[in-house]
Amino acid sequence: MLAANKDLGKVYGLLQYRPEDKEIPHITGTNYRVDQIYCLPYQTWGLSPEDISKDKKLPLEAILQAIKWCENNSETLWDTIKKESEEAGLD
């Protein structure tokens, strides 16, 4: 277990960091990074957390935690996405 997961779990119990991805957490037990919930479905398409929960077949609480993490860590979120885009040559 990553040490960062201990702190993350105190606030966001359904999220976890992975060894290969220490900047943006995933929803525990899935391959969904929180930005995959927040950026397109929630922010761009305007889906409600309830609709995302149904569409992704994930607990509503996990969706709410993903959104909350993104909103509370927006600088880390956007800096990481920008860095990953540059590394992939998509900037």
- Write down the domain spans for the chain: 3-87
Q: What is the rounded CA–CA span in Å between residue 17 and residue 3? A: 9
CB atoms within 10 A of CB 70: 21
Q: What is the rounded CA–CA span in Å between residue 49 and residue 37? A: 9
- pLDDT at 89 (0 to 100): 84
Residue 1 confidence (pLDDT) above 80: no
- pLDDT at 12 (0 to 100): 85
In this structure, are residues 65 and 12 in contact, taking their beta carbons and an 8 Å threshold? yes
- List pLDDT tens digits, range 19-63: 888 899 999 999 999 999 999 999 999 999 999 999 999 999 999
C-alpha distance across the termini of the chain, in Å: 33
Of 44, 43, 42, residue with least CA distance to 53: 42
pTM here? 0.85
